[in-house]
Structure 1
Amino acid sequence: MVESRYEVQYLTIHGHRRAFVKAGSGPVVLLLHGLGCDHTTWEPVIDSLSRRYTVIAPDLLGHGLSDKPRADYSVGGYANGMRDLLTCLGIDRATVVGHSFGGGVAMQFAYQFPERTERLVLVGSGGLGPEVSPIIRAITTPGFHPVMSLLTLPGVRHVGKAGLVGLSRLPSRHTRDLDEVAEIYESFKDPAARHAIRHVVRAVVDWRGQIVTMADRAYLTQVMPMAVIWGEDDQVIPVKHAEHAAELAPDARVEVIPNAGHFPHKDHPQRFAKVVHEFIRTTQPATYSRARFRSLLRAGRPIETARDRDASVTRIAPA
């Protein structure tokens, strides 16, 4: 884990210690990181967002400085954990921002706890289509743990990490995110972290790709403001998933950032923070109505409409 620029706080919930940072004041924004990452992935945007909002950025269980027990690593389990963390912090509602796997957790949180979700922001998110990087699929294989045990031996790990960082500096969109991959690789030196990540991935991915999807529940977003942000050069989850989001949730704001990979919040932090702020500023927090939610559930997934077919994706012009 990269050393944090912010004071890391801890809460023990259900016997497991959970790390998080809290910054700023105002309406609450909950930032959920991706697979193998931690709260430091959000550091480029925490300063900007915390000028207007109370930012909560946790290390999900099994990641970063949080405990890595033998536990429930399903997206539902993570959503429950975030509800309990917010409850302990005295926070009733939040705009939930999720990156990659954290986007899947954010979607599950919004589905399980709509009364506590003001808005939903998905960033290069899982759950919008089956395709995913072969590296992620490899984590589900039986040989992952023994092979990674060898690859994370001190000498091998240092060489491997240096190689990934070096490749990330090449002027190619295909190597853009390898510096982030290098940090995830470094975290795998901890056997407990490797076991936790494997459990996480097996809950959402098999050899054919992603198995957890929002497709069957996307119609519920019509009662909740949703934004989708993607890097145009994402090599982990293809940018066409942003277009899937526009088809699944026609009311969502979908924006694609040029010259950005799987971590648009790190590639263009000021632009990312501006997009999030404008989305929050121009939308009203969702108001939960049990009767309306019941009506939507009973009606079920709607048949595709002309509005669905005309859904558009906004591509942000380069600065």
Structure 2
Amino acid sequence: MGCIRAGKGPVLVLVHGFLSGMAYWSKQIESLSKNFEVIAMDLPGYGGETQQIGPDSIADFAANIFEKLDCIGVKNFHLIGHSMGGMIAQEMALQAPNRVNRLVLYGTGPIGKLPGRFEPLEDSMTKVQQNGMIEAKHYTVESWFKKGSADLNFASGLNLAEKVSLQTYINGLQAMSNWSAMGRLEQIQSQTLIIWGDRDRSYIWLQPYTLWQEIKNTNLAVMPDCSHNAHLENELLFNQIVFDFLTSR
């Protein structure tokens, strides 16, 4: 399986989002592995696992990660989820509260239909079926950066997205659209940090605000002048925020 393990210390699991892969976390792996055993893995259908078809449910993604962690003998861990990966992380924290120590939900929310997104998920599914994936992937990845395609990380992000199959693309949108944590957030027991870039066009303020209000024992960090991929746009600030949260008493 596509998996990176780096560093020593408390285990920190990183879960990437839609059209992405574990390579998206390279700047976090380099920094956080100095104090943690960082584990990042490709979700089925993404990154180095594109020979598979990705699941069409968030619960199935969560089950896949638990299975992989069980295979390598990891029981308890800190958990970071980005975007769709943040939905997966919420599901994991709900399913196995005794396994997730501290939880970081980043650029994500509890409402899978993504209200206020740059375009509705249904429109994305229709467009990709009618016009193909090249254009859809380009403008989706472009929307994740404040500078759009001018961002230095855009090319590598697009390269990951281009490898995703049509069925995995559609399944991912369906997985998000059919999922919700509303009415369940108060069941999350982990001490939680919400991170949000204030220029995020995929998850509007309603999403992180709801997480912040509904999950007990929760902190909020808003990264100024950053978009959906704040961890790439300002990795120094992002990494410091995460480190401070995970090491605070």
Residues 184-238 of structure 1, C-alpha deviation per residue, up to 9 Å, x if partnerless? 5544544x62211211111222xxxxx52222111112x3201100001112211
**In 1, are the aligned partners of 2:57 and 2:179 still within 8 Å (CA)?**
no
AA aligned to 1:148 is: G
Q: CA deviation at 1:135?
A: 6.6
Q: 1:121 aligns with which of 104, 119, 122?
A: 104
SS at match of 1:35: coil
From the superposition, tell whether residues 138 and 90 of structure 1 become closer, same or farther in structure 2 (CA, over 3 Å): same
Q: Give the match for residue 218 of structure 1.
A: 185
Aligned pairs, number = 243
Distance 1:177 1:262 in 2: 13
Unaligned runs of 5+ in 2: none
Aligned-partner Cα distance in 1 for 2:30–2:158:
27
Deviations 1:21-55 (A, max 9, x none): 11111111100111001111111121110000011
Name the CA distance, whole Å, in 2 between partners of 1:35 and 1:239: 19
Q: 1:71 to 1:39 in 2, by over 3 A?
A: closer
The 2-side partners of 1:51 and 1:150 are apart by 38
Which residue, out of 30, 37, 41, partners 2:13?
Answer: 30
Q: 1:119 deviation in Å?
A: 1.6
**Contact kept in structure 2, 1:128 and 1:245, CA below 8 Å:** no
1:202 to 1:100, Cα distance in 2 relative to 1, 3 A:
same
Shift of 1:92: 0.9
Matched-pair contact (CA < 8 Å) for 1:145–1:195: no
SS at match of 1:259: coil
1:189–1:99 Cα change, 3 Å = closer
By relative contact order (CA 8 Å, sep 6+), the higher-ranking structure is 2
Residue 23 of structure 1 contacts residue 55 of structure 1 at CA under 8 Å; is this kept in 2? yes
Offset of residue 183 of structure 1: 5.0
Letter in 2 for 1:86: L
Report whether the alignment pairs 1:77 with 2:60.
yes
Cα distance in 2 for residues equivalent to 1:138 and 1:273: 34
**Quick one: structure 1 residues 250 and 117, their matched pair in 2 at CA, closer, same or farther if it must change by over 3 Å?**
closer
TM-score by length of 1: 0.68
The aligned amino acid for 1:226 is T
Match 2:129 to one of 142, 145, 158: 145
The reply on whether 1:281 has 2:247 as its aligned counterpart is yes
User: Which has the larger displacement, 242-251 or 113-122?
Assistant: 242-251
1:203 to 154, 175, 180: 175
- Structure 1 segments of 4+ aligned residues over 3 angstroms from their partners: 70-73, 149-152, 175-190
Does structure 2 conserve the Cα–Cα contact (< 8 Å) formed by 1:264 and 1:272?
yes
- Please give the alpha-carbon distance, in whole angstroms, between the structure 1 residues aligned to 2:30 and 2:228: 21
Matched-pair identity in % = 24
Pair 1:236-2:184 in alignment: no
Q: 1:138 and 1:184 mapped to 2: Cα distance?
A: 22
Q: Is the 8 A contact 2:44 2:55 kept in 1?
A: no
Q: Matched residue of 1:56: which SS?
A: strand
User: Against the structure 1 CA distance between its residues 49 and 185, is the aligned structure 2 distance closer, same or farther, given a 3 Å change threshold?
Assistant: closer
The CA deviation at 1:240 is 3.6
| Aligned residues of 1:176 and 1:261 also touching (Cα < 8 A) | no
TM-aligned CA distance change 1:252 to 1:189, over 3 Å: closer
Cα deviation, residue 72, structure 1: 3.2
CA separation of 1:240/1:126 partners in 2, compared to 1, >3 Å: closer, same or farther? Answer: closer
Return the index of the structure with the highest Cα Rg: 1
- RMSD (Å) for aligned C-alpha atoms: 2.7
